[in-house]
Amino acid sequence: MFGKRGKQNFAWGLLICLCLLAFFLLIGPKALIPTNIAWLSSGDPAQHYLGWAFYRFSPWTNPIGLNPDYGMDISSSIVYSDSIPLMAILLKPFSVWLPATFQYLGIWALLCFVLQGYFAYLLLGRITKEPILKILGAGFFIFAPPFLWRLGVHAAYASHFLILGALVLTFGSVEHPFNKKSFLAWIALLFTSLLVSFYHFGDRCEFDLHN
């Protein structure tokens, strides 16, 4: 019924549907409303939002991650509020056009679900070529308790797709000689980890040194 490419596209479609279903069931669509900060009103999520709220209106600095208005008496940095510097720095230039109340943590949570499924699917492709098995296996990663727990507490630390990406590249280098393409992929992964969370970046570097 389907050709090889058709089966592959169908499998990717099912995987994306699974990721979206998991997000809407576990997080809910209201988290995607940029002006909705009710779910970020306490605990660490409040810290993540406040770090961004101060940073977006602060002047540009060198280095660009400084957050001079956030903190008491001394300047702080966007990295210390765990506000996902990657998103904060990308959105800061558009701050004047964004609503006065604006959060991107819901969008990031959705990205985490999708990328968690994507890299899990690629990782499982190292041991099986059956699309249905890869989708079922990816489901275990999408609904993994450590991943889901982090989503409700530390948005940046829920970026477990970075760990899966490192495993995909590691197993890929075992099967194929190290080349320019894989080198650039590692650089992109480490750079992204650095802009998401220093903890993830440290974990990736430690993982690379031991492998």
For 121, counting Cβ atoms within 10 Å of its Cβ (0-12 exposed, 13-18 middle, 19+ buried), the class is buried
pLDDT value at residue 208: 45
pLDDT value at residue 43: 83
Q: How far is 148 from 144, CA to CA, in rounded Å?
A: 6
In angstroms, what CA-CA distances link 35 with 96, 106, 163?
A: 15, 10, 31
Q: How far is 141 from 110, CA to CA, in rounded Å?
A: 14
Question: How much of the chain, in percent, has pLDDT values that exceed 70?
Answer: 87
Return the residue matching tokens 């489901």: 139
Query: How large is the average pLDDT for residues 83-87?
Result: 93
* Span of 30-44, 68-82, 110-124, 180-194 with lowest mean pLDDT: 68-82
Query: How large is the average pLDDT for residues 88-108?
Result: 94
pLDDT value at residue 155: 84
Domain boundaries, the chain: 4-30+106-209, 38-103
pLDDT above 90: residue 82: no
Other residues' Cβ atoms within 10 Å of the Cβ of residue 90 = 12
Length of the chain: 211
For residue 180, the one-letter residue type is K
pLDDT value at residue 150: 84
pLDDT value at residue 143: 94
- What is the secondary structure of 100-150 as a DSSP string? SS---HHHHHHHHHHHHHHHHHHHHTTT---HHHHHHHHHHHHT-HHHHHH
Return the residue matching tokens 């499998």: 11
pLDDT band at 91 (very low <50, low <70, confident <90, very high): very high
Of residues 185 and 203, more confidently modeled: 185
pLDDT above 70: residue 173: no
What's the predicted TM-score (pTM) here? 0.86
pLDDT value at residue 211: 45
pLDDT digits (tens, 9 = 90+) for 118-167: 999 999 998 888 888 999 999 999 999 989 888 877 888 889 999 999 99
Q: Which helix (H) or strand (E) holds 64?
A: none
